[in-house]
Chain A
Amino acid sequence: MSRFAFMLGLYRDYFANYLKTKLSYRADFWIEVLSDLMFNGLNLVFIFVVFLHTPTLGDWSEAEVVFVYGYFMIASGLFSTFFSAWNFSERYIVKGEMDRVLTRPAHSLSQVMLENMDPPAFVGSIVGFVIMITAWTTLGLPFHWYDPLVLIIMVLGSCFIYMGIYTALSAISFYSDAPTGIGPLIYNIQNYGRYPVEIYNKTIKFLLTWLLPFAFVGVYPASFFLGRLDDWWMAWLTPVVGIVVLSLGLWFWNYGVRRYRGAGS
């Protein structure tokens, strides 16, 4: 418990530090928010324009697809708020900042996460939430008292999946210092998860469900609220898959840290 309080205190201090640096470049914050929203806006425009020409995608209606996208925005916004170490290999391994991180008492991964926090991304989550609620009312879905609780569990599960996968990807740098280009690759596969998996072929569906479980950051958990799953337990696998993927990612990271020898110089 004291460890938890310690982390929370660290988070508060880092956040204060973040605010201080950002306040000197106030416009940057809003530019980041705007860029983020425009990127999501692009995908929403795609959905809206496409549905001018077709009543359904697979057998999903426009509001349902928008609902899934809203859910995706909540989860991915929350994830990017706390984890955006996209240049991990360059900054921490090549430039040797990992050595500094390792001399400090807090866990190395949490330090890396804290140093790279990106609060503007959270605005994306808020907008995603509004989009989801709008689609919810359009569809006239029933509201149960437990829905908010389920949403929190699902979103956490989805975030764990992202964190596990991207932690593992960052940890590759401990094993090999050559740039692998695998990060952008996975990032692009991630985009498949925004749409109902039924539209893809069997191989891709299998990949997105069991190997790189991005379908659990979108269509499966969202289906719980939409009340449309062939197997009701699929949605409930979200937190389970999240914990499994995060544990694997952490294990891979910790093992990598033990192997890490520094970049020299």
Chain B
Amino acid sequence: MTSAYLDFVRIRFLMMLAYRVNYYSGIIIYAINIGAYYFLWKAIFGEAETLQGFTVIQMSTYVAVSWMARAFYFNNLDREISGEIVDGSVAIQIIRPYSYLFVKMMQGFGEGLFRLGLFMVPGMIIVSFIFPIELPTDPMQWIVFFIMIWFSFLINSQLNILTGLSAFFFENNQGVMMMKRIMVDLLSGVILPIAFFPGWAISVMNWLPFQAITYLPGSVFTGRIQGGDVWNALLTQVIWTAVLIVPIMLVWRAARRRLFVQGG
């Protein structure tokens, strides 16, 4: 059974590889976005040496690494799942002898592997030539960072699955998907590190899973989280990964009872 699931990873990886040309322009798009925020932050800093404990170099490193981490953990599982629910093909998949959600996760994993190798790593190399960023020298930081972005991937995919499953309950869940996407971009710290938000917002965000997607790995990478706090950050991610299984299971149970296939 395990090998069947691994095949889903392999097939998705090969499928992505077949359409790899689309990803070369993706690297440039991410570089453009990093550039936009790099210049914005430079202007925001102005004369200031540090803002909220960030130096300019740390800030540009943070921007670069959080966009590149996004290149890796981003996927369209929400769109895929809700598409299959709306066109009814989910019905066929449910009666097959595998766990539908686990297969989706594996497909996301295949896409993630592809994005890591052909998008994030070359993108990071290109970006480090264009913008003045500072990569960590401690190999331990690199190892922890790569472990952490795997959890980013897991948490982001779990949120995507949860959003996708909402198609069982709404005939049109475009709005839910859009809302999720904007919440992830805003609250995970991609466009704005969480330290910049006002105090009340930070205390709310500490209780949400989004910060575990970008802010925590980004902070470890830029050395803003050090020593024992690194393990706390990792633990936060592990806990969120475990906690998010519960709502997915509940929604999945409720959903299968009320499945109606639109059209046919």
Contacts and interface: CB of A to CB of B under 8 A. Distances in A.
Interface string A171-208: 00000000111101100110110010001110010000
B254 interface: no
B43 interface: yes
Nearest to B45: A54
Interface in B20-48: 21-22, 24-26, 28-29, 32-33, 35-36, 39-40, 42-46, 48
Contacts of B172: 25, 27-28, 31
Interface residues of B, number: 35
A39 B33 CA distance: 16
B6 interface: no
Contacts of A179: 21-22
Given A35-B178, A189-B32, 20 more contacts: A31-B172, A31-B174, A35-B179, A42-B186, A49-B197, A50-B44, A52-B198, A53-B52, A54-B46, A179-B21, A179-B22, A180-B25, A181-B21, A184-B25, A185-B29, A188-B29, A188-B33, A195-B40, A199-B42, A204-B35
Contact of A53 (B39, B44, B179, B191): B44
A57 interface: yes
A91 B191 CA distance: 33
Given A49-B197, A181-B25, A204 B39 contact: yes
B84 interface: no
Nearest to A192: B36
A146 interface: no
A264 B98 CA distance: 41
A56 B28 contact: no
A53 B28 CA distance: 30
Contacts of B174: 28, 31-32, 35
A52 B196 CA distance: 8
Nearest to B197: A49
Contacts of B52: 53
Q: Is the interface of B mostly helix, strand, loop or mixed?
A: helix
Contacts, number: 87
Interface of A: 25, 27-28, 31-32, 34-35, 38-39, 41-42, 45-46, 49-50, 52-54, 56-58, 179-182, 184-185, 188-189, 191-192, 195, 199-201, 204
A57 B37 CA distance: 13
A56 B40 contact: no
B185 A42 contact: yes
Interface in B195-242: 196-198
15 contacts: A31-B172, A34-B175, A35-B174, A39-B182, A42-B191, A49-B192, A49-B197, A50-B196, A52-B196, A54-B46, A181-B22, A185-B29, A195-B40, A199-B40, A204-B39
Contact of A54 (B28, B33, B48, B171): B48
A229 to B, nearest CB: 18
B211 to A, nearest CB: 15
Q: Is the interface of A mostly helix, strand, loop or mixed?
A: helix
A45 B186 contact: yes
B198 A57 contact: no
Contacts of B126: none
A154 to B, nearest CB: 23
B259 interface: no
A199 B179 CA distance: 30
A54 B192 contact: no
Contacts of B36: 188, 191-192
B18 to A, nearest CB: 13
B51 interface: yes
A201 B28 contact: no
A53 B47 CA distance: 12
A204 B178 CA distance: 30
Interface in B115-137: none
A213 to B, nearest CB: 17
Given A54-B48, A184-B29, A38 B179 contact: yes
Contact of B175 (A31, A49, A52, A192): A31
Contacts of A35: 174-175, 178-179
B263 to A, nearest CB: 14
Contact of B51 (A41, A53, A191): A53
The 6 A-B pairs at the shortest CB distance, nearest first, are namely A181-B25, A199-B43, A31-B175, A35-B178, A188-B32, A200-B39
A189 B174 CA distance: 25
B63 to A, nearest CB: 12
